[in-house]
Amino acid sequence: MILFSPVVADALWTGRDVLALVFLSSNAWVSSSAVVSLVALVVSLVVYGKTSELSRKIADRTVTIEAQKLLLEINKVLVTDPRLFRIYDPKDELHKLVEKIAGHPQFPEVTVPESVPSVQVGSKNDFAGKLAAVGFMMLNVFEIVFAQMPKGPEYETWVRYFEDTLDRCPTIAELLELREAKVIYHPELVKSYGAWRDKPKSNQAQQD
């Protein structure tokens, strides 16, 4: 029979305690590492998602702006030669609007027979067509702002500028009354126009 002295026994128990402590410490370290790794993974996924969303928004904005630039180029062509409005169906209400503009008292010196096409170089309808084309160009510029500018002080400034333009340029409002306007223009622009249209126009009515 083997007997251990108290000193030896204390030494053995001390060794076991040390081993147990080391084992528990190892588990704690492994658990801590796993938590850190998991947190790092979650953070990486969140950053990746935000970055992807930002990249998508930048790409969409670039496409929108480039498309609007092409529209502005079309507007420039129409300003240069309003006869190109004939690309629209002869019954399109745009032609009626051009004729309405041409009939404004600002252009009383030219009389256009009914046999003359609605947009013809050398007639008052030619200048009316140019005005309509400039109106479309202005609307496309406003549309870029309403589509892409974040809401804030600058955005509100543009809204006020848009409303001032509508107050002073009736042709712009008439273009937005065309049936296709609600379809072809950005919802925010259409919404802002509706808000302006629904405002009381007491001063304007008195002037009229």
φ/ψ region of 81 (left if φ > 0, alpha if ψ in -120 to 50, else beta) reads beta
Domain presence at residue 85:
yes
Cα–Cα distance between 6 and 26 in angstroms, integer?
A: 30
Domain presence at residue 178:
yes
Domain presence at residue 53:
no
Largest CA distance in the chain: 134
Q: How many residues in the chain?
A: 208
Domain presence at residue 110:
yes
Domain presence at residue 48:
no
Virtual torsion, Cα 53, 59, 64, 65, nearest 10 deg = 120
Q: How confident is the model at residue 188 (pLDDT cuts 50, 70, 90)?
A: very high
Looking at the chain, the whole-number percentage of residues with pLDDT higher than 70 is: 65
* Domains held by the chain: number: 1
Count CA atoms within 13 Å of residue 71 on its CB side.
19
Domain presence at residue 29:
no
**pTM (2 decimals)?**
0.59
| pLDDT score for 192 | 95
Domain presence at residue 2:
no
| Residue range of the domain that includes 83 | 60-207
Domain presence at residue 8:
no
Smallest CA-to-CA distance from 188 within 154, 153, 162 is with: 162
pLDDT tens column, 121-143: 456 667 888 888 889 989 988 99
Q: How confident is the model at residue 48 (pLDDT cuts 50, 70, 90)?
A: confident
Q: How confident is the model at residue 193 (pLDDT cuts 50, 70, 90)?
A: very high
